[in-house]
């Protein structure tokens, strides 16, 4: 029960609506009851004042007591007060100071007894003129809405009760109106609840539809199919749409990663198989005598080169594994990046001379001391220079520039080469793991697609930036920054 989003939304809406309408009913009941009572009391008050004025006038003319005056004018009062009975929609009861009911106009069988005890009379008198819902200490058969208006006189400086004007009405009229209001509220509640069911259905459907699609897509991804995408309406801009867009982006990256991984596995398998086959063949040739003794030194050098190549490949894989597991630890120190760049160029001297590549070196400061992890930066420059030499045509240019950025207190190290360059559509992927540009695959037979990924990761670990700028068939430039050694030289 309540396992689906629809049922949870529906129950939540039902509870919210129920609480809301219950609160509204209480407020309306309170406001309506007070308004009705105040309105009724006002009408009764006006009627009681008319009766009071009439009786006081007759008492003054007859010089009789309240009881005798009422008795003498009883017939006149029935006709005179009849209109007031209709106006106030209530019965009129007159009680003398001894508790006798001397006049009654309105409902029959209204009063239990025509005599009120002195104690009850005093309670009615002390209640003062006002409207209350009660049976007036048992005077009436049921609770009624009563308005008490006492007639007092002063004898020897003391107030005494001459009589009581009592207007009384049943509360059935108010109850009927109140019942109607409650029925209207209940009807509206049911109508709104039904509308809410429909609304919740469509809302939950809108929410659950993309979630179900995402669930199906996840199932496809677990099976290795990353082609599935969640349909997105461009005009929508809600949280579900944002989730779907993020999910599609994730699927795109997973698809790209899977493709790169497959390419990498294919490439790495070839890179491992080729040198191992060569090594095996050369060693077997030496053992069985196929390779004569005088040629064994040459082929041992070939085997050594293949072993070094395998070692570089394994080291790259270990570097990637450490970086992805959070094992990359930097050990910043102070060193001259100019000197490091020259040493790296020297290590590629054979390749440079063979391809007749022209080397250019420019630096604003020499030495250019930086604060960074020496080994990490050595690998970054080595990887970029190595890539640059692979793709520089014969008699081309390789230039290293070290410029000072005064505003940022950094050095900008730029490695530029003429040659094949990188296509525009490949630039955004050039730092991706396992990625090898299609335009360069013919020239790079030994690359694994990890060198630039490692370079970018290590530069970013320093909190610095690395960028690439290229024009296909013309040039390529990699640029990164390092913090300047702030110590006094």
Residue in this structure with the two tokens 């109607």, named with its chain if needed: 180
139-160 pLDDT, tens digit per residue, is 777 777 788 888 888 777 788 8
| pLDDT(437) > 70 | no
199-236 pLDDT, tens digit per residue, is 777 777 777 777 777 788 888 878 777 777 777 776 66
* Segment 319-337 mean pLDDT: 76
Instruction: Decide which of 366 and 320 is more confident.
Output: 366
> What local confidence, expressed as pLDDT, does residue 326 receive?
62
Listed range (9-13, 363-367, 380-384) with the worst mean pLDDT: 9-13
Share of the chain above pLDDT 70, in %: 84
Instruction: Decide which of 469 and 109 is more confident.
Output: 469
Q: Do domains 239-324 and 332-483 have the same CATH topology?
A: no
> What local confidence, expressed as pLDDT, does residue 177 receive?
65
The span from the CA of 302 to the CA of 278, in Å, is 9
Which has the closest alpha carbon to 436: 259, 309, 318? 259
Mean pLDDT of the chain: 80
Instruction: Decide which of 301 and 360 is more confident.
Output: 360
Instruction: Decide which of 373 and 31 is more confident.
Output: 373
Share of the chain above pLDDT 90, in %: 17
* Segment 250-276 mean pLDDT: 72
> What local confidence, expressed as pLDDT, does residue 93 receive?
86
* Segment 9-26 mean pLDDT: 76
- Tell whether the torsion through CA atoms of 314, 316, 321 and 326 is positive or negative: positive
**What pLDDT band is residue 12 in, cutting at 50, 70 and 90?**
confident
Return the structure tokens found at 410: 């950094």
Give one DSSP letter per residue of 401-445, joined into a string.
EEEEEGGGTEEEEEEEEESS---GGGGGGTTSTT---GGGTTT-S
The span from the CA of 397 to the CA of 416, in Å, is 8
> What local confidence, expressed as pLDDT, does residue 21 receive?
74
The span from the CA of 389 to the CA of 444, in Å, is 11
Which has the closest alpha carbon to 116: 106, 124, 108? 124
Which has the closest alpha carbon to 131: 34, 35, 44, 31? 44
The span from the CA of 94 to the CA of 65, in Å, is 13
> What local confidence, expressed as pLDDT, does residue 341 receive?
93
CB 129, CB 150: distance < 8 Å: yes
Q: Which of 75-79, 234-238, 260-264 has the highest mean pLDDT?
A: 75-79
387-434 pLDDT, tens digit per residue, is 899 889 889 999 999 999 988 899 999 999 999 888 888 888 888 776
How would you class 463 by CB atoms within 10 Å of its CB: exposed for 0-12, middle for 13-18, buried for 19 or more? exposed
The pTM of this model reads 0.47
Question: Looking at domain 332-483, does it have CATH number 2.60.120.260?
Answer: no
**What pLDDT band is residue 1 in, cutting at 50, 70 and 90?**
low
Length of the chain: 489
* Segment 366-395 mean pLDDT: 90
| Cα 191-193-199 angle, rounded to 5 deg | 105
* Segment 344-365 mean pLDDT: 91
**What pLDDT band is residue 322 in, cutting at 50, 70 and 90?**
low
* Segment 17-40 mean pLDDT: 76
* Segment 286-294 mean pLDDT: 84
> What local confidence, expressed as pLDDT, does residue 466 receive?
93
* Segment 280-285 mean pLDDT: 84
**What pLDDT band is residue 239 in, cutting at 50, 70 and 90?**
confident
| pLDDT(443) > 60 | no
The span from the CA of 92 to the CA of 78, in Å, is 10
The span from the CA of 296 to the CA of 286, in Å, is 7
Instruction: Decide which of 366 and 272 is more confident.
Output: 366
| pLDDT(310) > 80 | no
CATH of 5-176, one of 1.20.140.10, 3.30.450.20, 3.30.750.24, 3.90.420.10: 3.30.450.20
The topology (CATH level 3) of 239-324 is Helix Hairpins (1.10.287)
> What local confidence, expressed as pLDDT, does residue 187 receive?
81
Instruction: Decide which of 104 and 415 is more confident.
Output: 415
Residue 109 dihedral angles phi and psi, to the nearest 5°: 55, 35
> What local confidence, expressed as pLDDT, does residue 467 receive?
94
**Domain residues of the chain, as ranges?**
5-176, 239-324, 332-483
């Amino acid at each position: 029960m309540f396992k689906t989003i629809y049922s949870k939304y529906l129950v939540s809406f039902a509870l919210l609506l129920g609480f809301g309408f219950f609160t509204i009913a209480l407020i309306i009941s309170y406001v309506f009851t007070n308004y009705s009572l105040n309105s009724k009391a006002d009408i009764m008050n006006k009627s009681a004042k008319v009766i009071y004025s009439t009786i006081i006038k007759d008492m003054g003319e007859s010089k009789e007591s309240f009881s005798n005056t009422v008795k003498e004018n009883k017939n006149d009062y029935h006709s005179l007060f009849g209109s007031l009975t209709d106006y106030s929609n209530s019965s009129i009861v007159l009680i003398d100071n001894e508790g006798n009911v001397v006049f009654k106009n309105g409902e029959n069988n209204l009063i239990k007894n025509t005599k009120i005890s002195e104690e009850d009379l005093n309670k009615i008198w002390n209640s003062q003129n006002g409207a209350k819902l009660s049976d007036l200490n048992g005077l009436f058969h049921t609770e009624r809405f009563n308005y008490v208006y006492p007639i007092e006189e002063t004898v020897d400086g003391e107030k005494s009760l001459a009589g009581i004007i009592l207007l009384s009405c049943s509360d059935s009229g108010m109850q009927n109106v109140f019942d109607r209001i409650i029925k209207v509220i209940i009807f509206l509640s049911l109508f709104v609840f039904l509308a809410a069911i429909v609304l919740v259905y469509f809302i939950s459907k809108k929410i659950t539809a993309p979630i179900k699609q995402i669930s199906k897509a996840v199932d496809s991804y677990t099976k290795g199919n990353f082609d599935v995408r969640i349909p997105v309406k461009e005009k929508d801009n809600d949280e579900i749409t944002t989730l779907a867009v993020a999910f599609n982006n994730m699927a795109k990256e997973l698809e790209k990663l899977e493709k790169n991984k497959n390419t990498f596995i294919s490439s790495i398998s070839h890179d491992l198989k080729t040198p191992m086959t060569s090594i095996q063949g050369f060693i077997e040739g030496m053992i069985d005598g196929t390779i004569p003794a005088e040629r064994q030194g040459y082929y041992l050098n070939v085997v050594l080169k293949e072993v070094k190549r395998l070692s570089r490949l394994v080291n790259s894989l270990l570097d990637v594994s450490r970086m992805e597991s959070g094992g990359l630890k930097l050990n910043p120190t102070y060193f001259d990046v100019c000197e490091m760049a020259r040493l790296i160029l020297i290590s590629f001297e054979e390749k440079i001379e063979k391809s007749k590549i022209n080397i250019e070196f420019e630096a604003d400061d020499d030495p250019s001391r930086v604060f960074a992890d020496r080994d990490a930066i050595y690998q970054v420059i080595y990887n970029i220079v190595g890539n640059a030499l692979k793709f520089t045509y014969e008699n081309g240019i390789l230039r290293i520039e070290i410029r000072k950025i005064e505003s940022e207190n950094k050095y900008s190290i730029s490695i530029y080469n003429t040659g094949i360059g990188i296509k525009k559509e490949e630039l955004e992927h050039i730092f991706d793991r396992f990625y090898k540009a299609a335009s360069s695959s013919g020239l790079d037979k030994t690359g694994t697609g990890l060198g630039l990924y490692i370079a970018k990761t290590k530069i970013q670990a320093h909190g610095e930036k690395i960028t690439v700028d290229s024009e296909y068939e013309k040039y390529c430039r990699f640029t990164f920054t390092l913090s300047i050694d702030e110590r006094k030289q």
